[in-house]
């Protein structure tokens, strides 16, 4: 009878491989857990940033389509074609928009720490709005139509153009 040798691992070698496999799998699972937490954080930050951008564009749309904005009854009333379309109000660190013919209130910005309005030539109509929300300064302005600016310039030139100034 011929004797055959069977090659095998010793108990010590198997234990060492099992311990190393456990350490490597622990490191891999901790890395995956860290990745999932970071991914969740990034998604949350992107969602908050997108909300700020969406609200910014909604507010900019209100301002750019407005003919005039004036302050009445604690609201910034927005007028288009001589009709009030709604009002913006800041209270309890929240900036909201309320359309004129509905009870719905739309939240534009949260965490508003301060805001300031500017007028043009000390007229009661608001020209610009500055908001600080989440440590971000947002600026909005009423869109001036080019034809109205040109007519204002022409009117000023006509007033200043007299025979005495020539």
Nearest to 133 by CA among 66, 65, 49: 49
With bands split at pLDDT 50, 70 and 90, how would you rate the model's confidence at 79? confident
Is 83 a residue whose pLDDT tops 80?
yes
Q: Please state the φ and ψ torsions of residue 152, each to the nearest 5 degrees.
A: -65, -40
Q: What mean pLDDT do residues 55-71 have?
A: 84
pLDDT value of residue 122: 67
Q: Is 95:131 a contact under the CB 8 Å cutoff?
A: yes
Is 166 a residue whose pLDDT tops 70?
no
Per residue in 15-62, pLDDT (tens digit) is: 999 999 999 999 999 999 999 999 999 998 888 778 888 888 888 888
Q: What mean pLDDT do residues 104-132 have?
A: 81
pTM: 0.57
Per residue in 95-108, pLDDT (tens digit) is: 889 898 888 888 88
pLDDT value of residue 153: 42
Please list the helix, strand and coil fractions of the chain in percent, rounded to the nearest 5, in that order.
45, 35, 25
């Amino acid at each position: 009878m011929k004797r055959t040798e069977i090659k095998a691992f010793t108990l010590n070698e198997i234990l060492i491989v099992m311990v190393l496999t456990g350490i490597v799998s622990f490191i891999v699972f901790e890395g995956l857990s860290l990745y999932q937490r970071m991914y969740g954080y990034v998604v949350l930050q992107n969602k908050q940033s997108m909300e700020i951008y969406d609200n910014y564009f909604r507010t900019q749309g209100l301002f750019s389509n407005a003919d005039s904005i004036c302050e009445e009854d604690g609201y910034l009333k927005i007028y288009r074609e001589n009709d009030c379309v709604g009002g913006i109000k800041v209270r309890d660190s929240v900036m909201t928009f309320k359309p004129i013919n509905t009870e719905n209130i739309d939240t534009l910005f949260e965490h508003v720490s301060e805001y300031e309005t500017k007028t043009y030539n000390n007229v009661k109509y608001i020209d610009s709005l500055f908001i600080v929300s989440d440590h971000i300064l947002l600026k909005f302005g009423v869109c001036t139509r080019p034809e109205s600016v040109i007519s204002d310039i022409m009117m000023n030139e006509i007033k200043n153009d007299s025979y005495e100034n020539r």
